[in-house]
Amino acid sequence: MARRKRRPKGKGGLVLKGCGGGCGCLIGVVLLLAFIGSQVENPAPDRPPEQMQDNFGDPIEIPLDEDLEGASVSMARNFYFIFDGSGSMKSEPGGACAGDQQSSTKLEGAQWAVEQFLGNVPEDVNIGLFIFDRDGRREVVPLGNGNRDAFMGAIRNIRAGGGTPLGPAIDFGTDQLVAQYKLQLGYGEYRLVVVTDGRADKIPEAARYAAHFGMPIYAIGLCIADDHPLRRFAVSYRAADSFDDLAQGLEETLAELPSFDATEFEE
C-alpha cells in the first residue's frame, strides 16, 4: 500500500491525505480550534461551555481501518453542500441583492446559479446535498459521483418554507465527510459548502464540531452582505450580492487554495 503523505503547501484546500495521524494536520486543527474558541462568547444555551469543551475541545485522530467494507485509497475530492430553502428564500431579492431583477424570488435565482455551477463540476468530484425547506431538513443526495441530475432535480424541487437549522445541517454534513474520509483511508480533499440567506442559532457550536474533525466550511451569504456569523468561522466566506455572484462563489469553492491554516480565516 502506498505511503500516505500530506499535500504539499500551496496545493489547495483541506487535503487530508493520511491526516488521520499527521502532526501537521493536528497542529492546523489546534490553531483553528483556538481561533474559534476565542470568537465564541455566547455558546448555545442548551449546551454549557464545559460540555462543549469536553466534546469538541481537542482535535481528534480520525480512526482508519483498511478492513472497513468499501475502503480503498482514493484521491477523490469531496464537496458536501448545504442549501438554505427556508421561508425567507421565497421573498423577492432584497438587502444586498435589491438591484438584481433577473429572478422573482431569491430561491429562483439561487436555483439558476446552482444550475450554472453544476455544469463546471468535474465528473470525478464527489458531491452530496442536504437541504432544509418547508418539508423539513434532510439529505436529498448522498455523497458520491454520477449524481448531477439527482442533485439538480433536488434543487429544483425545493419549496421554500420553515426555519434555518444551519447548526444541525453542518453537523450532519461533517459526519458525511468524516465517513467518506474513512472510506478513502485518509486520502483526498474535503469541503463543506454552505449557501444561506439567513442567520441561525448554534453556528459557533456546529463550526467547532466541524473543526473537531478538521473539516473546513466554505460559506456563501446570499443577499445579506458580509456580516453573517459564518464569516467568523468559515475558511472562505463570500457575500453574494447577485445571483451571478452566487454562481461565481460556488465556482470558487472548486478552486485550489493554500493548505488549511487557521490564519486563512477572515476576521
* Mean pLDDT per 10-residue segment, the chain (267 residues): 34 43 38 39 37 50 94 96 92 67 80 87 93 96 95 95 93 97 96 86 88 89 71 76 82 64 36
Looking at residue 100, its pLDDT comes to 57
Residue-wise pLDDT for 59-105, tens only, equals 788 999 999 999 999 999 999 999 999 998 888 776 666 555 567 78
Looking at residue 179, its pLDDT comes to 98
Looking at residue 219, its pLDDT comes to 85
Task: Answer yes or no: are the C-beta atoms of 180 and 79 closer than 8 Å.
Answer: no
How far is the CA of 37 from the CAs of 169, 176, 204, in angstroms? Answer: 21, 24, 9
Q: Which three cell numbers stand for residue 206?
A: 456546529
- Give the number of other CB atoms < 10 A from CB of residue 38: 9
Q: Domains along the chain?
A: 77-259 (3.40.50.410)
Full-model pTM: 0.74
